[in-house]
Amino acid sequence: MLSSGSVTVRASSLLRPFFRCRSFATMKPSVYVTRPDVPSVGIDLLKEKCNVEMWSECKAPPYDELIKSVAGKNALFCNIADKVDKNVLDAAGSSLKVIATMSVGFEHIDVAEAKKRGIKVGYTPDVLTYAVAELTVGILLATSRRLFEAHREIFNGGWTSWSPSWMCGPSIRGKTVGIVGFGRIGQETARLLKGFGVKQFLYSGRKDHPEASDIGAVRMPVEEMLPKCDFIICALAMSPETKHYFNERLFNLMKPSAIFVNTSRGGVVDQDALIEALEKGKIRGAGLDVMTPEPIPPDHRLLKLPNCVVIPHIGSAGIESRNDMAELTARNILNALDGKPMPAEL
């Protein structure tokens, strides 16, 4: 027990969750947010019970800045561009109780080290599933029907008149679509594509998915699947096991007419092998929302390939999904600080 004048406090009470024992504004827990443009629904929730400090620029704070700013904070609101490693956790010190990332991916966080220190980690699964699946369909169409390539022709003088064979690309109707990584996003993408008259869905993975029968998808080893596919969609999570999963060997198994789409993580693809496959005509084209590095330099080889559509990692950038992600991230923080179960804890 600790005594001060006539006030006696049990030491154990100091360990209670923040909101159950702190009532004055000056005693509010502190949260560091690594972007100023987080949708207001999330920030407003945090400000009701926390002191919120935000990085001032709409890009990742420099590593040294993150280390400096997280010191003494009780919570960190971050995203996939923020590297939260042992050094950051050391700088935060024992006051840090929760890390919440506004993403479904969490490879940027040293989760094992955080757990070792008793720091809770939250993420945002499910709420971005539809948005990413929707964009996957969009980039598949943009690649197969050569939308970006055709758009450029307007400005470089290539559009001179209507021509029967000019800017033609394969339709989705009647084709075979293979999905590698048949989780929430892979399944939702298949559901959306059913309306385009796909002939057959194939998927690879370590287990059967009960949802596959409703979609009409058949599981088979990736080596057997790829030669059968007209479109290959990568929806793999990033992990040490999936790094460079799509490599020269797998690209060599694809049809010369195949189109490859990746909206998961750039690191699951051996990018040099993909570039070679595109340059040598081993595959027809590729559509990428993710790549390495991010952001990609404007003079990168990928951007010089007419048969490669590249967009800047905007898979979850639906207004509704980003609002939901911000709210879920905030609720992960608030619940963790209040000693309640987090809506989405790793």
Contact indicator for 138, 117 with CB cutoff of 8 Å = no
**Percentage of the chain surpassing pLDDT 70?**
92
The model's pTM is 0.88
Contact indicator for 163, 187 with CB cutoff of 8 Å = no
HEC string for 71-118 = CCCCEEEECCCCCECHHHHHHHHHHCCEEEECCCCCCCECHHHHHHCC
Per-residue pLDDT averaged across 260-289, rounded?
98
C-alpha 327: how far from chain center: 17
Per-residue pLDDT averaged across 132-154, rounded?
97
pLDDT for res 2: 43
313 catalytic residue (yes or no): yes
pLDDT for res 17: 59
Crossing angle of the two packed helices 129-144 and 319-337, in degrees rounded to 10: 150
Query: Cα separation of 116 and 320, whole Å?
Result: 35
The H or E element spanning position 176 is strand 176-180
Model confidence band, residue 20 (pLDDT cutoffs 50, 70, 90)? low
C-alpha 171: how far from chain center: 28
pLDDT for res 27: 82
Sign of CA dihedral 35, 38, 44, 46: negative
Nearest CA to 286 out of 135, 129, 182, 146 is that of: 146
Per-residue pLDDT averaged across 81-87, rounded?
97
For the chain, the residue count is 346
Model confidence band, residue 1 (pLDDT cutoffs 50, 70, 90)? very low
Higher pLDDT, 21 or 340: 340
Is the confidence at residue 6, as pLDDT, over 80?
no
Per-residue pLDDT averaged across 136-147, rounded?
98
Strands 200-204 and 217-219: parallel
pLDDT for res 205: 86
In the set 151, 244, 300, 313, the catalytic residue is 313
Q: How far is CA 223 from CA 48, 105, 158, 246, 290, in A?
A: 53, 26, 39, 11, 23
- For 99, phi then psi, to 5°, come to -120, 125
Domains delineated in the chain: 30-103+320-338 (3.40.50.720), 128-157+168-310 (3.40.50.720)
Is the confidence at residue 83, as pLDDT, over 90?
yes
Is the confidence at residue 14, as pLDDT, over 70?
no
**Percentage of the chain surpassing pLDDT 90?**
90
pLDDT for res 302: 96
Residues 94-112: tens digit of each pLDDT:
999 999 999 999 999 999 9
- For 177, phi then psi, to 5°, come to -115, 125
Describe the strand order of the beta sheet including 30-33 as a list of residue ranges: 51-54, 30-33, 75-78, 98-101, 120-122
Is the confidence at residue 21, as pLDDT, over 70?
no
State the amino acid at position 144 in one-letter form. Answer: S
pLDDT for res 19: 57
What is the token pair recorded at 15? 């360990």
SS3 state at 326: helix
Report how far apart the first and last C-alpha atoms of the chain are (Å, whole number). Answer: 35
Model confidence band, residue 11 (pLDDT cutoffs 50, 70, 90)? very low
Q: Which residues are within 8 A (CB) of 302 and not within 5 positions of it... i.e. 6 or more apart?
A: 271, 275, 288, 291, 296, 308, 310
Q: Which residues are within 8 A (CB) of 93 and not within 5 positions of it... i.e. 6 or more apart?
A: 71, 72
pLDDT for res 207: 86
